Amino acid sequence: MTTDVLVIGGGAAAVQAANRLSTAEYPVTLAGPGQQQTAGKGVEVIAGATVIDVTGMPGDFTVKLASQGKAVTKKAGVIVVASELAVTPLLGAYGLTAGETVLSLSGFEALISDDAKRGKVLSGEKTVAFLAGFAQEGNPLLMKRILTCVDHLTGVTGCTAYVYINNIKVADDGLERLYKKGRDKGATYFKLQQAPSVSQDGNNLSITFHDPVLRSDIELSPDIIVCEESLTADPTHPALAKALRIDLGPMGFLQKENVHRLPVGSNREGIFVVGPGRDVENLTKSRADIDNMLLRVRALIGDGSLSVTAKAVVDRDKCVTCLTCYRCCPHGAITWDNKAIISPVACQGCGICASECPMDAIQLADFTDAEMMDRVKAAANAAGAPKIVAFCCRNSAYEAGMMAAAFNYELPKGLQMIKVPCAGKVDIQYILNALAVVDGVLVLACHTGNCKSEVGNTYAKWRVNDAYRKLEMVGIKKERLVFATLASNMAADFARIAKDMENIVREL
């Protein structure tokens, strides 16, 4: 496997990731949108780079980049995405226009970091008002920036800080201490449920709000107003996700809110996301991400070799290259020459491809069609009645079922659990053949958004709905088949679903 690592990004998190990988003796290329990127010794920097296309598999990715009008191709064993947050001033939400006395948070941070400008603007008795939490919910990272500015401001002789805010987000290391420090040094916080009235007439500023305790309006005429900013995902993420074939999260970040992906994983093996690429994060959390990423890189490509066992095997005589498997694979593990090829490194063994293949040309190790049907027959011949088969995802429902048995929950005497790698492996033939020999069938998957294969539960539900149609055609009550979702700790719910099925089939 190629031990080169490509880091995509142009900010502090990307540089730190590249330097850390280089220190661990991995050849690193840092490719990002910036023109003035700096990195440590041993890191190749490609400035002004955009990812055009990514092919290959973990250990052997080929990445095509466009950099300053030129095409660049790089080989990489692993790809690390460390993009930056998009920062947008929210002056318009408060009816303000940027100027000498009205600044965005970034503008004020730049001001206090410049000795000459700071001394000129903040000389004399100056009142600075901060507005935050009314145009958006806010977050601890934004709050830390405001509290740091307040702390700096209260240390300047003659300056006074006022903070108009909705919710004070201090759920991060040191923020509560920083908040109290500012108050002790004279900063005043107005915690309001509604945004104050703000007016701007040239350099004349006014902030007014109604105090329910005093039952009157309180007005302040600050010298400077500092307005909050929104911190959102990089707007290039959709195009980058398409090129990398990884999933976008609901807020546009490059990681879905899936417990199986945390902390730095994507739906594709060998493509990791750290720092602001996956969430609104400060540098402390980004460093933790980088530590986790390095562990994953070492486990995957190590010193350039990896011993793997094929999880899914293609029968090349049966394969007709319809590419159904390629389209449905949630992990980007399938390519083709004149037949389908499944990468043993990229494959995560969910079995969706095997169950979707119209030619039955793909078999999953330990979960072949023959082995699955043998387990169904064994369940039919087991003691107890009525006979119920539960196809259980090993990542959720199977653990819940084992917990229910261990905690002595009441379960049907005729219940037999069949473990599957993912509910997406439950073929419609398994369901129909099971109903030919048992009284009821349960298909138990992960909750929406928590499927390790992202869409295995979706495929399972589609197949159950298809089975309902077929059962109706042959006159079998569809109540004998139930689809449900569970988490691994839901033992009580597993027992309830199983007992409900027992009661249904007894009535039928």
Longest Cα pair distance anywhere in the chain, in angstroms?
90
Same domain, 50 and 181: no
Peptide bond into 386 cis (omega under 30): yes
* Count of Cβ atoms closer than 10 Å to residue 78 Cβ: 25
Beta bridge partners of 389: 416, 441
The answer to whether residue 187 sits within a structural domain is: yes
Residue 166: give the domain boundaries. Answer: 87-231
Q: How confident is the model at residue 37 (pLDDT cuts 50, 70, 90)?
A: low
d(CA 164, CA 168): 10
The answer to whether residue 307 sits within a structural domain is: no
d(CA 59, CA 305): 9
Average pLDDT over every residue of 389-395: 98
CATH code: domain of residue 318: 3.30.70.20
CATH code: domain of residue 448: 3.40.50
Specify the 3-state DSSP secondary structure of 7: strand
Helix or strand (DSSP H, E) at 60? strand 60-67
Same domain, 193 and 211: yes
Contact 421, 394 (CB under 8 A): yes
Q: What is the pLDDT of residues 455-473, one digit of tens each?
A: 999 999 999 999 999 999 9
pLDDT value at residue 41: 83
36: pLDDT strictly greater than 70: no
353: pLDDT strictly greater than 80: yes
By the 10 Å C-beta count (0-12 exposed, 13-18 middle, 19+ buried), 426 is classed as buried
Q: How confident is the model at residue 214 (pLDDT cuts 50, 70, 90)?
A: confident
pLDDT value at residue 33: 86
Structure token pair of residue 322: 């319809």
Specify the 3-state DSSP secondary structure of 346: coil
Same domain, 350 and 383: no
Lowest-pLDDT range of 76-80, 117-121, 333-337, 479-483: 117-121
The answer to whether residue 306 sits within a structural domain is: no
Q: What is the pLDDT of residues 179-200, one digit of tens each?
A: 999 999 999 999 999 999 999 9
d(CA 136, CA 228): 9
d(CA 86, CA 150): 23
Q: What is the pLDDT of residues 418-438, one digit of tens each?
A: 999 999 999 999 999 999 999
Residues 6+ apart with CB under 8 A from 408: none
Among 403, 324, 328, 313, residue whose Cα is nearest residue 366: 313
Of 231, 263, 287, which residue is a domain's last? Answer: 231
Same domain, 56 and 191: no
Peptide bond into 330 cis (omega under 30): no
Same domain, 213 and 244: no
Q: Can you tell me which residue has the tokens 């980058």?
A: 240
Residue 265 DSSP label: B
Same domain, 487 and 449: yes
Contact 237, 212 (CB under 8 A): no
Among 138, 202, 128, 200, residue whose Cα is nearest residue 166: 138
7: pLDDT strictly greater than 70: yes
d(CA 397, CA 410): 16
Average pLDDT of the residues of the chain: 94
Q: What is the pLDDT of residues 114-130, one digit of tens each?
A: 988 888 888 888 999 99
Among 99, 88, 159, residue whose Cα is nearest residue 129: 159
Residues 6+ apart with CB under 8 A from 215: none
Same domain, 174 and 220: yes
The answer to whether residue 489 sits within a structural domain is: yes
Same domain, 341 and 464: no
pLDDT value at residue 212: 82
CATH code: domain of residue 213: 3.50.50.60
The answer to whether residue 399 sits within a structural domain is: yes
Beta bridge partners of 57: 60
Of 197, 231, 265, which residue is a domain's last? Answer: 231
pLDDT value at residue 118: 87
Same domain, 15 and 46: yes
Determine the residue type at 396.
S
Alpha carbon 124 to its chain's center: 48
Structure token pair of residue 460: 């399972």
How many domains does the structure of the chain reveal?
4
Residues 6+ apart with CB under 8 A from 460: 423, 424, 426, 443, 445, 483
pLDDT value at residue 282: 86
412: pLDDT strictly greater than 80: yes
Average pLDDT over every residue of 390-415: 97
Structure token pair of residue 171: 């759920």
Helix or strand (DSSP H, E) at 89? strand 86-89
Of 300, 320, 344, which residue is a domain's last? Answer: 300
Same domain, 327 and 386: no
The answer to whether residue 148 sits within a structural domain is: yes
pLDDT value at residue 397: 98
Q: What is the pTM of this model?
A: 0.90
Same domain, 225 and 248: no
Residue-by-residue DSSP string for 94-149:
GT---SSSEEEHHHHHHHHH-HHHHHHHS-SS-EEEEEESSSS---HHHHHHHHHH
The answer to whether residue 17 sits within a structural domain is: yes
Q: What is the pLDDT of residues 277-307, one digit of tens each?
A: 999 998 889 999 999 999 999 999 999 999 9
The answer to whether residue 135 sits within a structural domain is: yes
Same domain, 44 and 101: no
35: pLDDT strictly greater than 60: no
